[in-house]
Amino acid sequence: MKRGVIAAILALMTACAPPSEAFAAETISFSDLLARPRAAADARIAYGPAPQQFGELWLPAGQGPFPVVVLIHGGCWQADLPGTELMDYLAADLRDRGYAVWNLEYRRIGHPGGAWPGTFKDIATGLDHLRTIARPRGLDLSRVVLLGHSAGGHLVSWAAARSGLSKDTPLWTADPLPVSGVVSLAGINDLEAFRATGPDRCGGPQTIDDLVSVATRAGQDVYADTSPARLATPKGEVSVISGELDPIVPPVFGPPFAARWSATELTIKGAGHFELIDPTSSAWRDEIVPLIADMAK
């Protein structure tokens, strides 16, 4: 199916969706989440010289080897929105379940060097940095699961598929770290479709244009190396999860991308955008945690 037809279908589905008041009913915001006390990571480790080029490592009790969950936060790829702290709650929960957690920060739109190519190169470098820190910390790199939320859901899908990038793009790397599975929570996995028909809550089309650096890439296919929907399906399991009541990344965007990648697709009833990263929610406990456990076997 041509992308123009897909965009038209998404526009129609969005137009027929419940009003925003229904979306917002009984769901939490990121401010609600961040108002709660947060546990601390075991270590902050730089993977580059920029202030945002670091990961926070959370280690469970014991000697390992531990399966690893890499967390990538959302926030519309924007520098002025919260970062790794959004995922601290999941990190603590996963640590208690016996997983090592690598919670990645990265340069975003508004940071020096953010957007294309810096944002994407940070994700790649931060992920591959696990090879450097794995042995002394008992990390099992044969069991690595990527989990991202919203903009981070886009970035984990991109990271899993980056082995298929052309050598002509500056985002290409020679030996990407293999992963066992990917969980994209409310991920913006088709940048073109979201730009065309998505809500404006992430800043509308301008945010996508800024992310892929349209202004400095005249004449280039800016989605060929940035949009997971344009990349080959990666090895390993992929799950695409949406919240039924999500007003930021509505659930209509999940099924078309999941079908393109032959991924598992799930829309969780009663969940909004941030319930997906709330460890006290039934969405997390009953739906998402079992997926991670299956991928990390």
Q: What is the pLDDT along the chain (297 residues), one digit of tens a residue?
A: 334 433 433 343 333 344 333 444 479 999 999 999 999 999 999 999 999 999 999 999 998 999 999 999 999 999 999 999 999 999 999 999 999 999 999 999 999 999 999 999 999 999 999 999 999 999 999 999 999 999 999 999 999 999 999 999 999 999 999 999 999 999 999 999 999 999 999 999 999 999 999 999 999 999 999 999 999 999 999 999 999 999 999 999 999 999 999 999 999 999 999 999 999 999 999 999 999 999 999
**Cis check: omega of the bond before 65, within 30 degrees of 0:** yes
Instruction: Give the amino acid at 158.
Output: W
d(C-alpha 267, C-alpha 262), whole Å: 16
State how far the alpha carbon of 258 is from the alpha carbons of 27, 103, 116, 184, in Å: 24, 25, 24, 10
d(C-alpha 43, C-alpha 55), whole Å: 8
Strand ranges of the sheet holding 100-104, from the earlier edge strand across to the other edge: 43-46, 54-58, 100-104, 66-72, 139-149, 181-185, 237-243, 264-268
d(C-alpha 151, C-alpha 156), whole Å: 9
d(C-alpha 185, C-alpha 241), whole Å: 5
Range of the domain at 23: 3-295
Q: For residue 151, give the CATH number of its domain.
A: 3.40.50.1820
Q: Give the chain's domain count.
A: 1
- List residues bridging with 243 in a β-sheet: 268
Sign of CA dihedral 119, 120, 122, 123: positive
d(C-alpha 287, C-alpha 269), whole Å: 11
pTM (two decimals):
0.91
